Amino acid sequence: MEPRWPKWYRDDDLSVSLQGVAADTISHLADLGRTVTLLEIYDCPDLMAGSLEPLTRCPKLEWLTLSGGVPDAVSLEPLTRCPELRWLSVTPADLPRLRGQLPEGLVFLNVRGLEVTEPSWPGRYGNDGLSVSLQGVAAADTISHLADLGRTVTVLDIYDCPDLTAGSLETLTRCPELWVITLSGGVPDTVSLEPLTRCPELRDLTLSGGVPDTVLDILSGCPELRWLTLGDLQRPAETAFTAAAYTRLVKSCRELWALYLHCTADTTRAVLTALKEADLGRDSNGRPRTISLWVPGELYRQLRSQGGDGVEVEKWKDSEEDSEKDSEEDSE
């Protein structure tokens, strides 16, 4: 068996990974004479009742990964007595068992299928709520458990979930304070995004992969939307919406002010022209609307001088190379 090293390191603290070891091994961690802040447990099917109790003797434990699932005989209740636990990764089978047993200070929760080897943590922090990421699992019953955890879920990132269904998204309406949603990897054509229009607090939405006009027309029913990210930086041609559909969405979502685009250069230029020519009206406070259009560095250098008429062109996710080019151009 190849060693799996901990993925996180911080000075003066100890990061630990356990692979295929006996259950009582966990009990020795608190006696090593060093502060254990990260623990990853892999391939340990012989965990038994009380196996996680010693974690309460690691008072600075911040990061815990339970890979492969926890046997039913093992209680997750000791996690509630880990006061510094902020990051927790579990399998879908463990999720319903966390109902009412989440650590009070938990901020990031990752739920991943058994075939997923590395957790992708939520990309945002949800203020006083819980930020959740799902990987390789998007079944309706998995998402439905989020509303029953006893904590307010405010951020949800769904990665690599080709089995996403309309029923899966319907369950999001049971998380009434969900304000950030990321659907990464594309949404199947058979799945309607209509349930998102019934998430009353939805402010920030990211859709990667193909985004046709029909999707944009549906999203026009999200009145509180403020930030919208569309497309795939690696495959911009898959983002197949038209400038006309994009303009309809902007005019309908009157609180929308920041648009992030990963699409072809021609589509981006068409969107910029259409927004400048459209009557975007006023926001809910009666002020003339200004839209920030964020584009990748190369397009930004081509379009930044073409803003105006209520549209500001901004640069999104500039790389070090982009920053150097911009500095050179600004100095000329």
pLDDT tens column, 50-106: 889 999 999 899 999 998 778 888 889 999 999 999 999 999 989 999 998 899 899
Q: Write down how long the chain is.
A: 332
Q: Is the whole model's pTM more than 0.95, yes or no?
A: no
- Residues 63-73 have pLDDT tens digits of 999 987 788 88
Six token digits for residue 246:
């994009």
Q: Compute the distance between CA of residue 195 and CA of residue 237 in angstroms, rounded to an integer.
A: 27
The residues, ordered by sequence, that sit 6+ positions from 31 with a Cβ below 8 Å of its Cβ are: none
Q: Which residues lie across from 262 on neighbouring strands?
A: 231
C-alpha distance from residue 276 to each of 29, 273, 290, 293, 332 (Å) = 61, 5, 10, 11, 28
| Phi, psi (deg, nearest 5) at residue 113 | -65, 160
Q: What is the tens place of the pLDDT at every residue in 193-214?
A: 899 999 999 999 998 877 888 8
Q: Which two tokens stand for residue 298?
A: 């190369």
Task: Give the span between the Cα atoms of 174 and 109, in whole angstroms.
Answer: 18
Give the C-alpha separation, 33 to 209, whole Å.
49
Instruction: Using the CB atoms, write b or e for 177-213: b if 16+ within 10 Å.
Output: ebbbbbbbebbeeebbbebbbebeebbbbbbbbbbee
Amino acid at the residue 224: E
Which of 207, 214, 170, 202 is CA-nearest to residue 187? 207
Strand 108-112 and strand 87-90: the pairing is parallel
Give every residue of the chain whose pLDDT is below 70, as ranges.
1, 9-11, 44-45, 126-127, 161-162, 233, 236-238, 317-332
* Exposure on the CB side of residue 264, measured as CA atoms within 13 A: 12
For residue 283, give the 3-state DSSP assignment: coil
**What token pair was written down for 115?**
């075939």
